[in-house]
Amino acid sequence: MITPGTLARALTNVRDRVLEGPIADLRRMPRVAIDTGPTDPDAWAVGRAHGLARAGQVSTYRYAVHPTARLRGAPVLLVSPLGACGVAFDLRRGCSLVEHLVGEGRHVHQVDDEDLVGHGAPSPGSPSDLTRWVDDILPHVVRLVSAHHDGAPVHVIGWSVGALTSLLAAADDPTLPIASLTAIATPFALDHVPESIPPRPLAVAAGGPVLATLQTLLGLVPTVPPVPEFLSAGAVGAFVTTPLTVLSHLADRDFLAQLEAVDDLRALVGAQAQLVGATYHAMVGPGELERGLVSVGGRQIDLGALRRPVLLVSGEDDVVVPPRAVRFGSTVLSGADTSLMTAPGGHLGVVCGRASRDRLWPALCAFLDRHDPVVGIEGDRRPSRRPRRAVRRPLPPATTAPEAAADAVDEAPDVPAAPARRAGRRPRPAPKPATRTRGRD
């Protein structure tokens, strides 16, 4: 129902969009590159980070700490999917997992190969990519982040393929300083993961039931071969329903900002987003995840040998990695302290959707708090509640009165003498000796 207030907000949003530009604040959280890969001889070569990343390396970033939040807890490492873009962790101001963690007082780091995105044709991963991340990149980065914080263990949060590589690296090397692992939208049964996913229109995700039904029906209409692709029923449906979706949410400024941010992310990733399922099937053999034995670099890594706290997160509307494929992880990770939760959103929305601000991110922070190390971490300056013990000084040895007076004068010659007694004042009489009166004759 259109009300005067709704109409006024819609007109304000349209005016701001036309006159001032995008509604979404797409500024990224401030960060600095601290490492450019395990084979870089100079770990602080910030100027060469992008060049080395495009040459086949990855970059590790450290986000600036919050200026007012009290720093607490172990550092956090975000691991993005292979060949994808880590912008999903920092989508926009007001809806950013990085911003939320920094505001909680966490030291946040991120590792990805986002500089490779957009350079070359999209392609699924390969077993060599899996080996490179499990054997070289992640062990190096985890130890690097831990060394930056005086050897503190690291909370590793991975999304999609990034979470799978993190779990394999932790299971393969128990000596890695890892406090906990969080796997978001990560399958443990590839039978439920399709190899190819068509791009999901925004009308299905946020356009309401009417627009979603219209878009779905138009997508089912077959395309005649002589008809160009851009004139197909599905393309026409997206062209029709997307403006209707925007019109139906003109009064919702936060929705419009989210729409702009997701469109920006899709423009960065491109067709690589459709190859998530193909990447899983290319890197992992059939039935390996279900058995918990994954072949990496000519050997098998047993996921059941993992002995770290693990949080498994599935998206309610995820069509790439359905929730039933994530739930199977509680059986595969038999040796880990595993927790399982379901959050709103699809494969992308479960990480950076608007509903994640109220559901996933608070639960994730609570999980990190429960598994923080007991020892103090850098920046934690809690005052001690134990009262200070009084200092006891030894008493002087017992001596006679003249000797004690002489010793006092010799040891403290600078102490002023007692003031002289004023003239005219009678001295205090000495106390009378006690006498027995009872029993006298």
| Mean predicted lDDT score pLDDT of the chain | 75
CA 300-304-305 angle, 5° bins: 80
Helix (H) or strand (E) holding 379, with range, is: none
Report the predicted TM-score, pTM, of the whole model to 2 decimal places: 0.73
Q: What are the φ and ψ backbone dihedral angles of 160, each rounded to 5 degrees?
A: 60, -125
Q: What's the distance, Cα to Cα, between the start and end of the chain in Å?
A: 118
Total number of domains constituting the chain: 1
Q: What are the φ and ψ backbone dihedral angles of 14, each rounded to 5 degrees?
A: -65, -45
**Alpha-carbon torsion angle 138, 141, 144, 150, nearest 10:** -70
Confidence of residue 269 (pLDDT cuts 50, 70, 90): confident
Tell which wins on pLDDT, 230 or 195.
195
**15, part of any domain:** no
pLDDT by residue (tens digit) across 171-184? 999 999 999 999 99
**177, part of any domain:** yes
Confidence of residue 82 (pLDDT cuts 50, 70, 90): confident
**2, part of any domain:** no
Residue 173 to residue 169: CA distance in whole angstroms: 6
Confidence (pLDDT) at 149: 93
CA 167 to chain centre: 16
**112, part of any domain:** yes
Confidence (pLDDT) at 413: 44
**258, part of any domain:** no
Helix (H) or strand (E) holding 112, with range, is: strand 108-112
**13, part of any domain:** no
For the segment 175-194, the average pLDDT, to the nearest whole number, is 94
CATH code of the domain in which 67 resides? 3.40.50.1820
Place of tokens 């929705």: 255
Range of the domain at 37: 21-197+272-370
User: Above 80 in pLDDT, residue 52?
Assistant: no
Q: Lowest-confidence range among 34-43, 93-102, 360-369, 375-384?
A: 375-384
DSSP string over 255-294? HHHHHHHHHHHHHHHGGGGGGHHHHHHHHS-TTHHHHTEE
DSSP string over 316-375? TT-SSS-HHHHHTHHHH-TTS-EEEEEESS-TTHHHH-GGGGTTHHHHHHHHHHHTS-SS
DSSP string over 3-45? -HHHHHHHHHHHHHHHHH--SS--PPPPEEEEE--TT-S-TT-
pLDDT by residue (tens digit) across 205-234? 444 444 444 444 444 444 444 444 433 333
pLDDT by residue (tens digit) across 131-159? 989 998 899 999 999 999 999 999 999 99
Tell which wins on pLDDT, 263 or 356.
356
Task: Give just the sign of the alpha carbon dihedral 334, 290, 297, 320.
Answer: negative
Helix (H) or strand (E) holding 296, with range, is: strand 293-296
**69, part of any domain:** yes
pLDDT by residue (tens digit) across 288-345? 999 999 999 899 999 999 999 999 999 998 989 999 999 999 999 999 999 999 999 9
Picking from 215, 195, 196, 194, the residue whose alpha carbon sits closest to that of residue 204 is 215
**174, part of any domain:** yes
Tell which wins on pLDDT, 167 or 394.
167
Tell which wins on pLDDT, 399 or 366.
366
Confidence of residue 432 (pLDDT cuts 50, 70, 90): low
Q: What are the φ and ψ backbone dihedral angles of 433, each rounded to 5 degrees?
A: -70, 145
Contact at 8 Å (CB) between 55 and 21?
A: no
